[in-house]
């Protein structure tokens, strides 16, 4: 399984740091040049972003981040592998990363995406026994789990992701990992637990490791945009329905709400 890491031109310090982390795990990766949204002109942004999303208009950095993920999907498809592991360039790797990322034999046959990353959020996961690797479980993800700094995607799914994102209005992690996203509803998405990667700023938590000058993301604090009443009502109903289903299945011992740890 090939590993792809997106990295902005000129972000050599990030690339050097990432290379040392992967070298320490006995892994190598293919660098995919990221798209710096700050360098896109308005016409380029308008070509791919046709409207505002749930969180308002995407920032140039968010547009660049999404386009960088698309570049990784295209590279994976071109290389012809069945799976590819996609990383942003600020990830920390956990224990046994070499064994986990060095093989795809453990990936569930039906999996479209396997999220490798931990965040501070609590999520719902299926409890059914399934695949395992290096003392970690691979469970179906049943609720939103934002951030997209580390995940495995199948080649077939990458094709669908590209086809479904020729234009977009949400950030790439919303597109992939929001329970309200069509991708989430139509794909078999799994979570590695404990996770094998985490973004550096998430692990340190001091707000100093997220360097806007070299970051692909370029995100900023936002509040949820005011949607038309009909859309808001539909979204609220969908959220409540999913929450009730997850709570009911959790009470029945089928699912569990938990924080995915990083190890």
Q: What is the pLDDT along the chain (263 residues), one digit of tens a residue?
A: 999 999 999 999 999 999 999 999 999 999 999 999 999 999 999 999 999 988 889 999 999 999 999 999 999 999 999 999 999 999 999 999 999 999 999 999 999 999 999 999 999 999 987 899 999 999 999 999 999 999 999 999 999 999 999 999 999 999 999 999 999 999 999 999 999 999 998 776 544 444 555 556 555 554 455 656 665 656 667 777 777 787 878 788 889 999 999 99
The CATH classification number of 2-225+255-259 equals 3.90.550
Question: Residue ranges of the domains in the chain?
Answer: 2-225+255-259
- Among 59, 38, 39, smallest CA distance to 49 is for 59
In this predicted structure, what is the pLDDT of residue 233?
A: 58
Distance CA 114, CA 239 (A): 23
Tokens of 62: 């968010």
Q: Which residues have CB under 8 Å from 108's CB, separation 6+?
A: 114, 130, 131, 138, 188, 190
Tokens of 172: 């790439």
Q: What is the pTM (predicted TM-score) of this model?
A: 0.89
**174-200: burial string, b at 16+ Cβ within 10 Å, e else:** bbbbbbebebbeebebbbbbbbbbbbb
Beta bridge partners of 31: 5
- Phi/psi for 198 (5° steps) reads -155, 150
Q: What's the burial of 245, exposed, middle or buried (CB within 10 Å: 0-12/13-18/19+)? A: middle
- Among 2, 214, 175, smallest CA distance to 102 is for 2
Distance CA 186, CA 243 (A): 18
Residue bearing tokens 């936002």: 222
Identify each DSSP E strand in 62-171 by its residue range. Answer: 83-88, 91-93, 113-115, 122-126, 132-133, 136-140, 150-154
């Amino acid at each position: 399984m090939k590993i792809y890491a997106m990295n902005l031109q000129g972000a050599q310090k990030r690339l050097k740091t990432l290379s040392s982390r992967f070298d320490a795990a006995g892994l190598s990766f293919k660098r995919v040049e990221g798209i710096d949204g700050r360098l896109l002109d308005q016409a380029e942004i308008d070509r791919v972003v046709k409207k505002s999303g749930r969180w308002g208009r995407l920032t140039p950095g968010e547009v660049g981040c999404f386009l960088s993920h698309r570049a990784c999907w295209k590279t994976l498809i071109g290389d012809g592998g069945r799976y590819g592991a996609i990383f942003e360039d600020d990830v920390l790797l956990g224990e046994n990363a070499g064994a986990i990322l060095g093989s795809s034999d453990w990936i569930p046959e039906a999996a479209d995406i396997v999220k490798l990353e931990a965040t501070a959020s609590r999520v719902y996961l299926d409890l059914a026994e399934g695949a395992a690797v290096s003392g970690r479980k691979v469970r179906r993800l049943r609720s939103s789990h934002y951030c997209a700094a580390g995940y495995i995607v199948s080649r077939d799914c990458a094709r669908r992701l590209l086809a479904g994102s020729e234009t977009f209005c949400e950030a790439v992690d919303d597109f992939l990992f929001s329970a309200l996203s069509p991708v989430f509803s139509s794909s078999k998405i799994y979570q590695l637990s404990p996770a094998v990667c985490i973004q550096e700023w998430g692990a340190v938590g001091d707000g100093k490791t997220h360097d806007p000058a070299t970051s692909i993301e370029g995100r900023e604090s936002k509040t949820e945009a005011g949607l038309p009443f009909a859309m808001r009502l539909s979204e609220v109903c969908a959220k409540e329905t999913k929450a009730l289903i997850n709570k009911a299945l959790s009470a029945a011992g089928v699912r569990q709400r938990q924080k995915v740890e990083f190890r």
